[in-house]
């Protein structure tokens, strides 16, 4: 009878463990869903500080110096960026994560891409162009020109950032909102 009691007791312990683990899993899923629904995102890329960010609704047109969350368009340049590992998986069309980038030019502004980037004749800070990525693969700068209506030109001061210097202006239809740091750090 002692063996049967031990088997029953282990079964009870196993049931308790399953219930506790199930409740923990449900709580974790609810927390994740609530965070995403509340506009919270985790940034794991070096283009901006690592950590927890929040998407703040943007109730006006995007402006120069706005730090945005934006879904990249499904273009050949973005497919190439995905293939090279520049983009992470996420909730944007094409299955990629939103970018966190600063607007440096809006529709009608002239962007000149040379050794560095200038907007309407003014040089941009930390905008030098890389000819190769971190793995030695060639990078092709986007041609200079006027930012078209309905588009913004994005930049990150991080030296290895893949931004509009290489993929060009992006449609404002991809803007999710302003990017607000919640709990971040710079390694």
Q: What are the pLDDT digits (tens) for 35-59? A: 566 678 888 888 888 999 999 999 9
Question: Which string of b and e fits 1-23 if b means at least 16 CB within 10 Å?
Answer: eeeeeeeeeeeeeeeeeeeeeee
* Global pTM value: 0.80
Kindly provide the residue ranges of all beta strands, DSSP E only, lying in 91-174, ordered along the sequence.
Answer: 99-106, 110-113, 117-119, 122-123, 145-146, 151-155, 170-171
Q: What are phi and psi of 71, to 5 degrees?
A: -80, 130
Average pLDDT taken over every residue of the chain:
87
Averaged pLDDT for residues 6-32 = 73
Query: What pLDDT does 74 receive?
Result: 93
CATH architecture of 38-185: Ribbon (2.10)
The more confidently predicted of residues 174 and 14 is 174
In this predicted structure, the answer to whether residue 81 has a pLDDT above a threshold of 90 is yes
Query: So what's the pLDDT on residue 36?
Result: 60
% of the chain beyond a pLDDT of 90: 57
Give the per-residue pLDDT at 25.
74
> Average pLDDT of 16-36?
71
pLDDT at 117 over 80: yes
């Amino acid at each position: 009878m002692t063996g049967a009691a031990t088997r029953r007791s282990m079964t009870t312990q196993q049931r308790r463990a399953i219930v506790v683990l199930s409740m923990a899993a449900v709580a974790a899923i609810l927390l994740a869903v609530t965070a995403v629904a509340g506009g919270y995102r985790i940034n794991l890329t070096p283009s901006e500080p690592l950590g927890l960010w929040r998407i703040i609704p943007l109730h006006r047109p995007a402006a120069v110096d706005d730090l945005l969350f934006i879904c990249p368009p499904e273009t050949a340049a973005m497919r190439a960026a995905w293939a090279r590992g520049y983009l992470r998986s996420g909730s944007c069309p094409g299955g990629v994560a939103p970018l966190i980038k600063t607007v440096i030019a809006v529709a009608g502004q002239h962007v000149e891409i040379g050794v560095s980037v200038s907007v309407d004749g003014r040089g941009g800070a930390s905008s030098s162009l890389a000819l190769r990525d971190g793995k030695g693969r060639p990078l092709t700068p986007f041609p200079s020109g006027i930012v078209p209506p309905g588009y913004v030109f994005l930049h990150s001061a991080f030296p290895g950032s893949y931004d509009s210097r290489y993929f060009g202006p992006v449609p404002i239809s991809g803007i999710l909102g302003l990017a607000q740091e919640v709990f971040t750090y710079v390694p």
